[in-house]
Amino acid sequence: MNAAELGVAAGGCLVAVALLIALVAVASRGRSRRRWTRLQQWSEANGWTLVAKPVVDWGSRLPGGNKHGVSLALSGELWGRHTSIGEYSFTETTTTSTPDGHGGTTDATTTSTHEYVVVVLHLDQPSGYLGVLPRDVLSRWGLTLLGVGSAIGQEAFDKHYRVVGDPATAAYRLSQELIAAHIEGTAPLWTLYGTELVTWFPGRIDLDRVADLAGPLHQIATMLTGVDAAR
């Protein structure tokens, strides 16, 4: 194959790649539109509201600390409490160095996008910052984002968890029932600030599992407030 033929072949490959990228982008936009339609239909059928890019500060208390990372939120009443379920993401870039065989190193950069479902309950009484998080979460995400964690003096709890915030000045108390739920592994991680009680899970919203996603946080709210809002 001569130089001219090689040039034609290379040009054809570039066109094919560009066409493939365009087709993938079109298919992705189509999936996004169809999913938005399903979310909208579900919200209308259940008396909820759907908002794109809601103006909220949940991201500041979530992995990655992306204040603008909440892309959408469904909000409505569930078991007597105002509930929001949103989708949040942040992008993480890591750089690793490996020997290049010549006495130096070669850097490789990897970019990963992490997606979460965030569940928010809106309580009646505002509170200072408070929460229960696994010890390894604090070590991974850092104290700047989540605050200094403290033990409570119960070995079964302290082995795995830390309390963030200041329980002495918070509007709600960590009851023995709530502590036991964490020890048993039935309570999700959570933080509370103002009137917003927040938890999060990896993944995206599954409309068939809305009750499953929000149920554990509703149990936390009941144990914090001493009131079952469903009654």
Is the residue at 231 inside a domain?
Answer: no
Model pLDDT, residue 191: 93
Residues 76 and 91 in one domain: yes
* Cα–Cα dist 21/175, whole Å: 55
Is the residue at 202 inside a domain?
Answer: yes
Residues 107 and 39 in one domain: no
Residues 146 and 120 in one domain: yes
Model pLDDT, residue 65: 86
Q: Quick one: which H or E segment has residue 36?
A: helix 3-45
- Residues of the chain falling short of pLDDT 70: 1-31, 95-105, 107, 137-149, 230-231
Is the residue at 230 inside a domain?
Answer: no
Model pLDDT, residue 49: 97
Residues 82 and 106 in one domain: yes
Which amino acid makes up residue 218?
Answer: H
Residues 203 and 168 in one domain: yes
Residues 31 and 106 in one domain: no
Owning domain of residue 72: 49-225
Q: What is the pTM of this model?
A: 0.78
Total domains in the chain come to 2
Is the residue at 58 inside a domain?
Answer: yes
Model pLDDT, residue 94: 72
Question: Which DSSP letter does residue 72 get?
Answer: E
Model pLDDT, residue 29: 57
Three-state SS sequence of 134-193: EHHHHHHHCHHHHCCEECCCCHHHHCCEEEEECCCCCCCCCCHHHHHHHHHCCCCCEEEE
* Cα–Cα dist 25/13, whole Å: 18
* Cα–Cα dist 83/123, whole Å: 9
Is the residue at 32 inside a domain?
Answer: yes
- Burial of 128 from C-beta contacts in 10 A (0-12 / 13-18 / 19+): middle
Residues 72 and 12 in one domain: no
List the beta bridge partners of residue 107.
97
95 touches 109 (CB < 8 A): yes
Residues 34 and 113 in one domain: no
Tens-place pLDDT, residues 3-45: 555 555 555 656 655 555 555 444 445 567 899 999 999 999 9
Tens-place pLDDT, residues 64-82: 889 999 999 999 999 999 9
Residues 30 and 129 in one domain: no
Residues 71 and 135 in one domain: yes
131, 132, 157, 208 from 44: Cα distances, Å: 33, 34, 42, 15
